[in-house]
Amino acid sequence: MSVLTRDEAQNRAQLLDVRHYTIDLDLTRGDETFDSRTAIRFTVRDGQDATDTFVELKPAELRSATLDGQPLDPRTLDGNRLPLKNLAPGEHELRVDAAMRYSRTGEGMHRFTDPTDGETYVYTQLFLDDVQRVYAAFDQPDLKAVFDLTVKAPEGWTVLANSVTEHTGGVWKAAPTPPISTYLVAVAAGPWHSVRTEHRGLPFGIHCRRSLAPFLEADADEILGVTRACFDRYHEKFAEPYPFDSYDQAFVPEFNAGAMENPGLVTFRDEFVYRSAVTDTERQTRAMVIAHEMAHMWFGDLVTLKWWDDIWLNESFAEYMGYQTTAEATRFTDTWTDFGITRKSWGYDADQRPSTHPVAPEAVPDTASALLNFDGISYAKGASALRQLVAWLGEKDFLAGINTHFARHRFGNATLADFIDSLVAATDRDVHAWADAWLRTTGVDTLVPELRAQDGNWHLAVRHRGSPATPPGPAGNHDARTRPHRITVGLYDHDLHDARRLTPRDRLETDVPADGDTTLGAAGPRPALVVLNDGDLTYAKIRFDDTSFRTVRAALSGLPDPLTRAVVWNALRDAVRDGELPPTAYLETARAHLPHETDLAVVQGVLSFAATRIADRYARPDQRPAALATLTDLCRDLIRRTEDGDHPGLRLIAVRHFIDAAAHPHAIAAWLAEGTVPGGPELDPELRWRILTRLAVLGAVDEAAIAAELENDPSATGQEGAARCRAALPDADAKAAAWQAMFTRDDLSNYLFTATAQGFWQPEQADLVRPYVPRFYQDAVALAARRGPAIAEAAGQYAFPAHAVDPDTLRLGEECLRDADPTPALRRKLVDQLDDLARALRLRKA
């Protein structure tokens, strides 16, 4: 299939004005295909000679196509392009009749049958170029049009769309949309369970499959309460009112992303309908995703990027607004702590790999390249840059600039230059220079404190230091320039009555220029601890002076603010990854301080890094048992601390990580047999499958036990749990069957593929799976070519042998990149995995 290039899109946008789509879908044609009929009204602009262009579609069968009533030869369809020849200036109408394939990979029109009750659901995911799997389109974001949609559905189904729907029998018609981009059209059809209400005169609804109805009902008040609160807060921030006629949120099965911002019909992965116990931080994450997607109604849907090089105009803004608005409008007021400990680390890691790119790249050549930029840079780094922009610009001027942006480009398209011009109109600061420094560069700055005492005073210099060298990627992406930073410096002293507690002395705001350092000073003794970037307002790694580092090791848990603790934990994490702090020192610090931590996001973030990076990858095989023992001892302390029942979220996190780190099956096998952890919690399906997976890894269960558990929980989540457990069994036949399911058969859905991959590789089974390490590269390349980007990404992320930290794995991967021509989606994942592998090798040698 041909990808659309930037040049082709620009040429087509100069040629065409696309006005209106009429789309008729028939979902009653069977399990494999559906019918799609499209009529597109468009104009070739005056001043053009008779010219050629093309429309995109990926049909199972192209039955017919007519242009201005004249038939086109279906055999001229070349891959995904139907040529349109000799178009004269003026109005035209294209009609296309095709059969389209349902997807099992979350792309296009995904079809899912619920194993719990046999009910079937379909929904669209049309980003970035998967529109062509559902209807014929001039598929680029700057050819916006009005969409009229009609859907024929089986009896008993409800059809949801971008706008209010009405139906007669099984035929559902949606109200015409305002002008929107092709990738934002949405349909979700099936026997949904719905909770409907109204807010500010608009219909609101939340929807899920019927088997999840009790769980949606239990959380409906919270979900709708967050939705209303964010909706009202955005109307306080934005002068432009919500631009669509309804607001539905559908929780759909086997969704590849967290959510998708289809105007009027946001789709979420239905894991956000919790059927097992979750922590308050996980509820906060759901609230943030609701706020993030709602922000897209303005950032992305009302005003849309012109081309994919400005994806940050969608994602960075929605990420920033999601966290900020959740903190302002809901009970979840500590969202920036969660952002700091989880999302920022995603951005920092991505920005230090060879595949790094600017937040706003100069040019994205085609759609395949664009898809690779939906990463920690476009989300977390971009949101961090905007948070820094607000700190530097002031929120009043920032909001004035974005409201100007909405007014200038409503229902249109815009670029980075357009946005900067809107900000310039609201401030006298040099926003162009800020954008060049923050949005056009790559890499992470490191800020280092230097303290000295003189004449009874102390002086602090904040200096830039280059990060450890990141080799340039294929595009030469490494950029050694530094950025200006506005930061807060936190000063802390030991408590006079308890040296393990720290009390704030002062918080100093300062600017650190890109081309120099900044110096601060004060009278009196030097502080026990100096924290650069206290409050986490900028995007930079920080280090500690020697005295501050000793204070951190002794009294980290005594810092009063969880956001400050998150900044400090991130600094320790970065020091480990950069080879400046031994992984064992991080574990020792976690062992000493995490039992006293109260913030759930911090506990989860620290335990996750300690488990998935230090114990699984950075520790040598002979060090792994000690690392797991440290983690289980730490979790046992947290479990003991929470016996009073006052901290259920903390206890749940500790129980989960105790299970994952268990080196011996006895304790967790007893929990499974008894159906509860002593003192609680009782084992819900998530915990039961978690324990069973770990027991499978340790060789303490067999197929009969897995089958019995699946009989008790035949849900979609149960099917995934069983696939994960079966792949985790330390048995040669089980490994062969799992490998065949992933790489030979093509019938696994995206979620079942991921679950199987998650179970397959286990550090405890390195000898058993060693023959599969070289097979991975050849088989993954072939799989990605056959099954497309979604499965390619899953293979690269979950089926990669990350446990095999050795030079041979790295060599084989480098040979694959050089010689095997993996698809772009798989290549990007392999580049990132191999960079992480090389880092782990360096740390093991240190």
Reported as a pLDDT band with limits 50, 70 and 90, residue 598 is: very high
Mean pLDDT on 277-291: 98
pLDDT for res 479: 53
Peptide bond before residue 128 is cis, with ω within 30 degrees of 0: yes
Residue 372 belongs to some domain of the structure: yes
pTM for the predicted model, two decimal places = 0.97
The C-alpha atoms of residue 743 and residue 763 are separated, in whole angstroms, by: 21
Phi, psi values for residue 147, rounded to 5°? -120, 125
The C-alpha atoms of residue 823 and residue 825 are separated, in whole angstroms, by: 6
pLDDT for res 470: 42
Q: At residue 468, does pLDDT exceed 60?
A: no
Mean pLDDT on 321-328: 98
> How many CB atoms lie under 10 A from the CB of residue 673?
8
* Domain stop point among 191, 211, 233: 191
pLDDT for res 467: 46
pLDDT for res 480: 53
The C-alpha atoms of residue 127 and residue 108 are separated, in whole angstroms, by: 8
Query: Positive or negative, the Cα torsion across 236, 238, 239, 241?
Result: negative
Reported as a pLDDT band with limits 50, 70 and 90, residue 473 is: very low
Residue 841 belongs to some domain of the structure: yes
Got the DSSP string for 628-669?
HHHHHHHHHHHHHHTTTSS-HHHHHHHHHHHHHH-SSSHHHH
Residues 6+ positions from 796 with CB-CB distance below 8 Å: 780, 784, 825, 826, 828, 829, 830, 832, 833
pLDDT for res 469: 38
Do 480 and 464 meet the contact criterion of CB atoms below 8 Å apart?
no
The C-alpha atoms of residue 167 and residue 62 are separated, in whole angstroms, by: 28
Same domain, 26 and 171: yes
Residue 428 belongs to some domain of the structure: yes
Do 297 and 267 meet the contact criterion of CB atoms below 8 Å apart?
no
Residue 56 belongs to some domain of the structure: yes
pLDDT for res 481: 64
Cβ burial 337-364 (10 Å sphere, 16+ → b, else e): bbbbbbbbbbbbbbbbbbbbbbbbbeeb
Residues 6+ positions from 755 with CB-CB distance below 8 Å: 720, 721, 723, 724, 727
Phi, psi values for residue 335, rounded to 5°? -60, -30
- pLDDT tens across 604-631, in order? 999 999 999 999 999 999 999 999 999 9
The domain of 62 spans 6-191
Strands 146-152 and 16-26: parallel
Tokens at residue 337, please?
A: 């702590």
DSSP state, residue 592: H
The C-alpha atoms of residue 273 and residue 647 are separated, in whole angstroms, by: 22
pLDDT for res 520: 86
- pLDDT tens across 150-201, in order? 999 999 999 999 999 999 999 999 999 999 999 999 999 999 999 999 999 9
Any idea what the CATH number is for the domain that residue 92 is in?
Answer: 2.60.40.1730
Which residue would you say has higher pLDDT here, 209 or 499? 209
Mean pLDDT on 671-684: 97
Do 793 and 128 meet the contact criterion of CB atoms below 8 Å apart?
no
Got the DSSP string for 172-227?
EEEPPP-SB-GGG--EEEES-EEEEEEETTEEEEEEE-GGGHHHHHHHHHHHHHHH
Q: Which of 540, 603, 614, 557 is nearest to 581 (CA)?
A: 614
DSSP state, residue 679: T
Residues in the chain: 846
Q: How many domains is the chain built from?
A: 3
Q: Provide the residue type at 838 as one letter.
A: A
Q: Assign 248 to helix, strand or coil.
A: strand
Reported as a pLDDT band with limits 50, 70 and 90, residue 515 is: confident
Phi, psi values for residue 706, rounded to 5°? -65, -45
Residue 580 belongs to some domain of the structure: no
The C-alpha atoms of residue 458 and residue 432 are separated, in whole angstroms, by: 37
The C-alpha atoms of residue 309 and residue 364 are separated, in whole angstroms, by: 5
List the catalytic residues. 293
Tokens at residue 280, please?
A: 């308050």
Residue 46 belongs to some domain of the structure: yes
What torsion do the CA atoms of 558, 563, 569, 570 make, to the nearest 10 degrees? -160
Do 474 and 354 meet the contact criterion of CB atoms below 8 Å apart?
yes
Mean pLDDT on 409-436: 97
> Largest alpha-carbon pair distance within the chain?
91
Residue 764 belongs to some domain of the structure: yes
Mean pLDDT on 468-477: 40
Residue 632 belongs to some domain of the structure: no
The C-alpha atoms of residue 687 and residue 683 are separated, in whole angstroms, by: 5
pLDDT for res 787: 97
> How many CB atoms lie under 10 A from the CB of residue 61?
12
Mean pLDDT of all residues in the chain?
96
28-37, 295-304, 445-454: the lowest-pLDDT one: 445-454
pLDDT for res 500: 87
Got the DSSP string for 517-545?
-EEEEEESSPPSEEETTTT--S--EE---
- pLDDT tens across 779-797, in order? 999 999 999 999 999 999 9
Phi, psi values for residue 600, rounded to 5°? -65, -35
pLDDT for res 475: 37
The C-alpha atoms of residue 618 and residue 596 are separated, in whole angstroms, by: 25
Got the DSSP string for 435-462?
HHHHHS--S--EEEEEEEEETTEEEEEE
Q: At residue 50, does pLDDT exceed 90?
A: no
State how far the alpha carbon of 181 is from the alpha carbons of 142, 147, 235, in Å.
Answer: 7, 9, 23
* Domain stop point among 170, 191, 212: 191
**Cα Rg, the chain, nearest whole Å:** 27
Peptide bond before residue 141 is cis, with ω within 30 degrees of 0: no
> How many CB atoms lie under 10 A from the CB of residue 593?
24
pLDDT for res 413: 98
Reported as a pLDDT band with limits 50, 70 and 90, residue 638 is: very high
Cβ burial 745-783 (10 Å sphere, 16+ → b, else e): eeebbbbbbbbbbbbbbbbbbbeebeebbeebbebbbeb
Q: At residue 214, does pLDDT exceed 60?
A: yes
Do 755 and 726 meet the contact criterion of CB atoms below 8 Å apart?
no
DSSP state, residue 48: P
pLDDT for res 477: 43
Any idea what the CATH number is for the domain that residue 373 is in?
Answer: 1.10.390.10
What torsion do the CA atoms of 542, 548, 553, 557 make, to the nearest 10 degrees? -80
* Domain stop point among 407, 427, 446: 446
Reported as a pLDDT band with limits 50, 70 and 90, residue 454 is: confident
Q: Is 232 left (phi over 0), alpha (psi -120 to 50) or beta?
A: alpha
Residue showing tokens 């990463």: 375
Helix axes 213-237, 280-295, angle to 10 degrees: 50
Q: At residue 671, does pLDDT exceed 60?
A: yes
Tokens at residue 553, please?
A: 């090791």
Residue showing tokens 């409906």: 220
Mean pLDDT on 432-447: 95
Mean pLDDT on 239-268: 98
Same domain, 22 and 163: yes
Same domain, 185 and 326: no
Q: Provide the residue type at 395 as one letter.
A: E
